[in-house]
Amino acid sequence: MSGLTVTDLHARHGHSAVLDGLDLTVGDGQLACVLGPSGCGKSTLLRVVAGFHPAASGTVTVGDRVLDDGRRRVAAERRRVGYLPQDGALFPHLTVAANIGFGLPRAARAERAERVAEMLDLVGLVGLGDRHPHQLSGGQQQRVALARALAPRPELLLLDEPFSALDAALRIDLRVEVAAALRQAGATAILVTHDVDEALAFADRIAVMRGGRIAQAGTPDELFHRPADAKVAQALGEANLVPADLDGRTASTALGTLPLAGEPAENGAGQVLLRPRQLRLAPVEEPGSGLLVQVVGSQFRGHDHRVELSADADSGLPNRLVAYTDASPPAPGSAVRLTATGPAHALSGSAGESAGAPTVYVSASSSR
Amino acid sequence: MSTTRSTRPPRTLVHPGPSPLSQRWRAGRVLPLVAGLVALVTACPLLFVALEATQSGWDSAERLLGRPLIVTLLWHTVSLAAVVGLATLVLGFGAAWLIERTDLPAKRTWTVLAAMPLAVPEFVHGYCWVSLFPTVQGFWGAALVMTSSLYPLVFLPVAAVLRRSDASTEEVARSLGHGRAAVLWRVTLPQARPALAGGALLVTLYLLGEYGAFAMLRYTTFATAIYTQFETAFDTASASLLALVLVALALLVLLLEGRTARRGGRVVREGSTARPGRPLPLGGWTRPALAAMAALVGTALGVPVYALGYWLVRGSSTTLPSASIWALTATTLGYALTAAAVATAAAVPVALYAWRRDTRLARALERTAYLTRALPGIAVALAVVFFAIRYAQPLYQQPPLLVVGYAVLFFPLALTAVRSSLAQVPHGVEDVARSLGTAPLSVLRRVTLPLILPGLGAAFAMVALTASTELTATLLLAPTGTDTLATQFWTYTTGLAWGAAAPYAAVMTALSVPAVLLLTRRTLGGTRIPREATR
Amino acid sequence: MSVDVRSVQRSTVALLVGLSALSLTACGSSGASASSSSSGGSLTGQSITVYSGQHKQTMSALVTDFTARTGVKVQLRSGDEAELANQLLVEGPASPADVFVAENPPALTKLEGKGRLAKVNAATLAAVPAADSAGQGDWVGVSARQAAFVYNTGKLTAAQAPASVKDLASPAWKGKLGVAPSETDFTPIVTRMIKDQGVAATKTWLEALKADAKVYGSNEDLVAAVNRGEVSGGVIDHYYWYRLRDEQGTGNVHSALASFAKGDPGALVDVSGAAVLSSGRHQAAAQAFLAYLVSKPAQQIIATSESYEYPLLAGVQDSRLTRSLQDSGPVASAADLGDGSAALQLMQSVGLLS
């Protein structure tokens, strides 16, 4: 039982509150991701869980062990919580093997050597045990750091933007590999990042964090299609927020009446989310319905085109919209006919944030 | 353990072993405590000077500070510090750059030679220059002698940074269309800024409090006025009052250094991922570069070596040094090495605390230690006398007291070395080590100390080097009847027996050579990564 | 290390044979009236600590001889006079020192003013002329030095040497004269000037020195500068020149000594004295040491040592010194010299001293 439960966690840097009543649950064996802009407190959350930073109040529990209750805390070295920082922080004076074996009992030599070999194999660095960190590439260094963190079989592994220092191609490869290695090891892990692609690719569960608390948590799919509010919607990818009149199962918008994905929190004037893929463009001359909008610019991205559109001020649409299309869009400046395909997702609190953003627990039972 | 009554839910509270919670608190408090204690001891001289200064009457304060001469002396001090500071920066950086970034021939030899003036004690420098070139006097004389003896304090740390830092940023800058000069100015120099600032800090603080060498060079500074009050007027109170002005100057210097070093930040990519770049081909500039290095080394090292040789051969009081010179050498070494170990060990908690917690308090602790460096040696030594005879009477004029005196006097040197090597340690390694189940003391032993080993070596060598030639504190604090090479040298020179003094200066210099070699090695590192046996 | 090794070896035999029997009464037989201090008991085996700002080799020889004669062990702390004075002041009554031997009166006068000195035994004081010791008997004169004019023989003749220090204020000396005003030896000359000429005239004189003379950090530097011709002449204590002569060898001496006229403020003779600290825990042994210093054997050691100071005991002469102490004029009394603070402040006010 090594799931993590964080309850009403507060933490401070000096006098400024960094974590402000944060709740988070990660089930045993899950790979969770905390997604948020820099400065939202996500690194501090990891440091509190790891035991490097004290909680001001609230509780941190792994399995059934309370690690920190705001008054007393278990020393970092007794938590069995692994930590993988941004730059890997390998010990430059130790070989790769010694780095990996660092957290293993020093007495049991044979077992240690065996475990180190196992870990080298897991991260695909067999044969490099005698190298020093400076003789490795950046990606290899991160893999060693991962192996080192996993070697003592921690109950929980914390990864603090571990791929951000790497170049793009390497980053994509490595996060897939790391996710695979973690699943193979059966580890419970929390990755902290500001990169949504990383979060979507890596995690079973995503928790969107802002202002020192979790705004919403759920599966990547849930968060992408059914965000709790506009900011979460934007955190997960490009979003068109379209004013709508909500009525139970449908939403009336400037782009027509669309079916709603679920019951809205309240009927009446509101806002729906339409992802760029839900917008369709058609030539003006082509018969059919749709609103006339102007193409502002477009960008070919290999698998599709990203098109920026602008609508008239009195059209009932936001003045800037984004659509992804497979066909080449008309040249900038030309008009197109815009339609939307449902279902639309009604966003709560569109007029303004409701006090006390809803907290959703990520729990093992609701996934898989 | 489970006494917390939160309304929130924790389930069963199971903890292995006895109270792991409290352990963290102890570990967290020991370091600031030890660091604070060390800072307190090293701040003793400041406390002494402040206490004594309050004894000084307003009248004598007004008489001493109200003189127009004071302004002149302050100007002498500040202008010399500025000129020597700048000159040591230029020479120190220039030599380091030539050695670390170009294809200058015989780099290893140049490295050792360029660091070697450190082996020559300052008073020997002064004495050699004056006896060979009597015209080297006044402002420019002082500037010349001080620059040539102090520039290694800048050269060594800068060379270390250049060797460790990633040359790829310089290559990137070239690729962005910057010429060599622009790269030097806009990339290399800023990378070395913290090291430059640290070196300049030591040089400047040293100049503030120096007296002996200036007396020989007939240059008066603010410290001269302090010595007059001590040594001609026997007026500790007034002397302390004047010393407070030096402390204020030192504060100003520290503030400046803090800003400069901070702007450099920790942007330099170092440690595990740095790699060396290709040395810049000097081409036609090889000869001028070699000539410049030869001129530097010839001036800084040649003059003292020649003068010592001259007196060894020519002085009529030169006798074959008696057997006692070896006993003195042993005494000198014993004290210097012990003091070096103590000062280095004391520097670790202070530097570590400041490095881990970048708080105002931690920085203040660290900075206090540097202030002492600006005080004239006699003030520091008298402070140790003052506190020891009152609060540690059994130790008074016993060997440990001299060790403590040296440690207090040269603590800033040790701190600088440890601090700069800590700055190279990647942040987060200690956290990671703890998350791997290693207790704080074990982390220190297995990770932090091995990583700063070069810094510890440099600190040790630096203090041993300086302590083995120290005079003022030795005269005041050594056990009665104990002589060192420096006090014997002094005894002979005050008796005008230069020939008899020369062997002692020669032995002191010779003794310092291994320390300088060690320092060069430790600071620059023989291999890029320290060896480590842990498997 | 407190004692010169060679001397120890030389006197080891004497020591072993005579040590236990020797007490102060034995010492008295040497001619000086040293016996008076003893309270009768043997001092053998006692140990005293001596802070000495005097010439180290000479002091070592004296201490060795003293120990051989009395059995009193001596911890000799040799250092710079001024630093030792400061050390004594900072130490306060807890000081381990029993005896302080200075180079010039001001340091002793300063300690006397702070009430740190014990009265010297009358018999000891009686050994030397009364004017050579402190007025109140707080310290005793042991040896003397004479202020003199040293000149470079290539630049000046003996006839061109000034008869009076007052003459040095002439612009003719501009750039040719050296002084070392921070030396404790220089202050007494200024004190004498103030007494003879008054504050205003002395100030004018000092201003002229400030304008014309090159200032050196020590007499050692000054005498060497004169010898190599950097300046034509300078005011020093006589013994610096003799020590220089020894070091350079006669062939390399390009300088000579001249004296100021008798009665001139420059023709100053001042004494190096010794005192017993009132806080010392070995008063009797300390007094015995002072008694020894003015005894004939001690004075003879001084008269033949490399320190080249004048012995003060009547009948003991240093034949190497060209001018006898008697020719040099009267010794400046300690009362006249005071602690030198007036002279010091005047030098500071004109900027001759920092």
Name which residue leads in pLDDT, C35 or C232. C232
**Percent of chain B that is helix, strand, coil (3-state, to 5):** 75, 0, 25
Domain count of the fold of chain B? 1
Q: What is the ipTM of this complex?
A: 0.79
Residues of chain B in contact with residue A154, where contact means CB-CB under 8 angstroms, are: 435
Q: Does residue C209 form part of some domain?
A: yes
Tell me, yes or no, whether chains B and C touch by having 3 or more C-beta pairs under 8 A: yes
Q: Does residue B152 form part of some domain?
A: yes
- Residue C39, amino acid: S
Within this chain, do residues C164 and C231 fall inside the same structural domain, yes or no? yes
Residues of chain A in contact with residue B530, where contact means CB-CB under 8 angstroms, are: 93
Within this chain, do residues C165 and C259 fall inside the same structural domain, yes or no? yes
Within this chain, do residues C129 and C67 fall inside the same structural domain, yes or no? yes
Tell me the per-residue pLDDT of B364-380, one tens digit each, with 9 for 90 and over. 777 887 888 888 888 99
Q: Does residue B276 form part of some domain?
A: no
- pLDDT given for residue B339 in this prediction: 95
Contact B165, B187 (CB under 8 A): no
- pLDDT given for residue B211 in this prediction: 81
Q: How confident is residue B321, by pLDDT bands cut at 50, 70 and 90? A: low
Q: How confident is residue A360, by pLDDT bands cut at 50, 70 and 90? A: very low
B526 touches chain A (CB under 8 A): no
Mean pLDDT of C66-92: 91
Q: Does residue C328 form part of some domain?
A: no
**Cβ B130–C353 below 8 Å, yes or no?**
no
Tell me the per-residue pLDDT of B247-301, one tens digit each, with 9 for 90 and over. 998 888 888 877 776 654 443 344 444 455 567 777 788 888 889 999 999 988 8
- pLDDT given for residue B427 in this prediction: 77
Q: Does residue C330 form part of some domain?
A: no
Rounded to the nearest angstrom, the gap between the alpha carbon of residue A287 and the centroid of all alpha carbons in its chain is: 42
Give the domain CATH number at C77.
Answer: 3.40.190.10
Name which residue leads in pLDDT, B339 or B102. B339
Within this chain, do residues C136 and C173 fall inside the same structural domain, yes or no? no
Q: Does residue B19 form part of some domain?
A: no
Average the pLDDT over each of B83-87, B376-380, B467-471, C20-24 and give the range with the smallest value: C20-24
Within this chain, do residues C217 and C342 fall inside the same structural domain, yes or no? yes
Average pLDDT of chain A is 83
Nearest chain B CA: its distance from C187 CA (Å): 8
Tokens of residue B227, six digits: 């010595």
Name which residue leads in pLDDT, B28 or C225. C225
Tell me the per-residue pLDDT of C139-149, one tens digit each, with 9 for 90 and over. 999 998 888 99
Q: Which helix (H) or strand (E) holds C99?
A: strand C99-101
Within this chain, do residues C155 and C186 fall inside the same structural domain, yes or no? yes
Q: For residue B50, report the phi and psi dihedrals to the nearest 5 degrees.
A: -65, -45
From B180, B158, B146, select the one nearest B95 (Cα to Cα).
Answer: B158
Tokens of residue B99, six digits: 């050695």
Nearest chain B CA: its distance from A133 CA (Å): 6
**Is pLDDT at C311 greater than 80 in this prediction?**
yes
The half-sphere exposure of C81 on its side-chain side, counting CA atoms within 13 A, is 23
Angle at B236 between CA B231 and CA B241, to 5 degrees: 115
Gap between the Cα atoms of B216 and B142, Å rounded = 9
Gap between the Cα atoms of B101 and C350, Å rounded = 53
**What's the predicted TM-score (pTM) here?**
0.78
Contact C225, C216 (CB under 8 A): yes
Q: Does residue B7 form part of some domain?
A: no
**Is pLDDT at B484 greater than 60 in this prediction?**
yes
Residues of chain B in contact with residue C220, where contact means CB-CB under 8 angstroms, are: 493-494, 496
Residues of chain B in contact with residue C354, where contact means CB-CB under 8 angstroms, are: 69, 73, 220, 224-225, 227-228
Angle at C225 between CA C223 and CA C228, to 5 degrees: 110
Contact A60, A9 (CB under 8 A): yes
How many percent of chain B have pLDDT more than 90? 14
Classify residue A117 as exposed, middle or buried by CB count within 10 Å of its CB (0-12, 13-18, 19+): middle
Gap between the Cα atoms of A4 and B341, Å rounded = 47
- Which residue of chain A has the CA closest to B12? A64
Gap between the Cα atoms of C334 and C321, Å rounded = 24
B322 touches chain C (CB under 8 A): yes
Instruction: Select the residue from A72, A79, A156 to test the B interface by mutation, using most B Cβ atoms within 10 A.
Output: A72
| Cis geometry, peptide bond prior to residue A92 (ω within 30 degrees of 0) | no
**Cβ C2–B481 below 8 Å, yes or no?**
yes
Q: What is the DSSP string of C324-337?
A: -HHHH-PBPPHHHH
- pLDDT given for residue B526 in this prediction: 47
Tell me the per-residue pLDDT of A240-281, one tens digit each, with 9 for 90 and over. 888 888 887 888 888 888 888 777 667 788 888 889 988 888
- pLDDT given for residue B101 in this prediction: 83
- pLDDT given for residue B336 in this prediction: 93
Mean pLDDT of C35-45: 56
Give the domain CATH number at B263.
Answer: 1.10.3720.10
Gap between the Cα atoms of A116 and A100, Å rounded = 6
- pLDDT given for residue A307 in this prediction: 92
Classify residue A313 as exposed, middle or buried by CB count within 10 Å of its CB (0-12, 13-18, 19+): exposed
Q: Does residue C155 form part of some domain?
A: yes
Contact C55, C307 (CB under 8 A): yes
Nearest chain A CA: its distance from B262 CA (Å): 21
- pLDDT given for residue B273 in this prediction: 43
- Residue C232, amino acid: S
Domain span including residue B73: 24-270+287-308+320-534
Name which residue leads in pLDDT, A238 or A171. A238
**Is pLDDT at C8 greater than 60 in this prediction?**
no
B37 touches chain C (CB under 8 A): no
Residues of chain B in contact with residue A66, where contact means CB-CB under 8 angstroms, are: 2, 4, 10, 13
Tokens of residue A92, six digits: 């430059």
Within this chain, do residues C108 and C207 fall inside the same structural domain, yes or no? no
Tell me, yes or no, whether chains A and C touch by having 3 or more C-beta pairs under 8 A: no
Q: Which helix (H) or strand (E) holds B243?
A: helix B236-264
B327 touches chain C (CB under 8 A): yes
Q: Does residue B508 form part of some domain?
A: yes
Query: At which residue do the structure tokens 């030639």 appear?
Result: B469
Within this chain, do residues C152 and C138 fall inside the same structural domain, yes or no? no
Q: How confident is residue B533, by pLDDT bands cut at 50, 70 and 90? A: very low
Domain count of the fold of chain C? 2
B134 touches chain A (CB under 8 A): no
B55 touches chain C (CB under 8 A): no
Within this chain, do residues C126 and C195 fall inside the same structural domain, yes or no? no
Within this chain, do residues C22 and C81 fall inside the same structural domain, yes or no? yes
Q: Does residue B8 form part of some domain?
A: no
Average the pLDDT over each of B391-400, C126-135, C335-344 and give the range with the smallest value: C335-344
Within this chain, do residues C138 and C276 fall inside the same structural domain, yes or no? yes
Q: How confident is residue B315, by pLDDT bands cut at 50, 70 and 90? A: low
Name which residue leads in pLDDT, B185 or B18. B185
Tell me the per-residue pLDDT of A45-91, one tens digit each, with 9 for 90 and over. 998 998 888 899 999 999 888 998 888 888 888 888 988 888 888 88
Gap between the Cα atoms of B531 and B520, Å rounded = 17
**Cβ A92–B272 below 8 Å, yes or no?**
yes
Q: Does residue B16 form part of some domain?
A: no
Gap between the Cα atoms of C14 and B529, Å rounded = 65
Mean pLDDT of C264-277: 88
Tokens of residue A225, six digits: 């299609």
Gap between the Cα atoms of A146 and A125, Å rounded = 12
Gap between the Cα atoms of A271 and A251, Å rounded = 9
Return the top range by mean pLDDT from A3-7, B14-18, B339-343: B339-343
**Cβ C345–B472 below 8 Å, yes or no?**
no
Tell me the per-residue pLDDT of A129-186, one tens digit each, with 9 for 90 and over. 899 888 888 888 888 998 999 888 888 999 988 887 777 777 787 788 788 888 887 8
Q: Does residue B234 form part of some domain?
A: yes
- Which residue of chain C has the CA closest to B231? C82
Mean pLDDT of B123-129: 78
Cross-strand pairs, A299: A306
- pLDDT given for residue B532 in this prediction: 33
**Is pLDDT at C259 greater than 50 in this prediction?**
yes
User: In sequence order, which ranges of C294-340 are alpha helices (DSSP H)?
Assistant: 296-304, 325-328, 334-337
How many percent of chain A have pLDDT more than 70? 93
**Sign of torsion over alpha carbons C312, C317, C323, C327:** positive
Domain span including residue C297: 5-144+271-321
Within this chain, do residues C195 and C224 fall inside the same structural domain, yes or no? yes
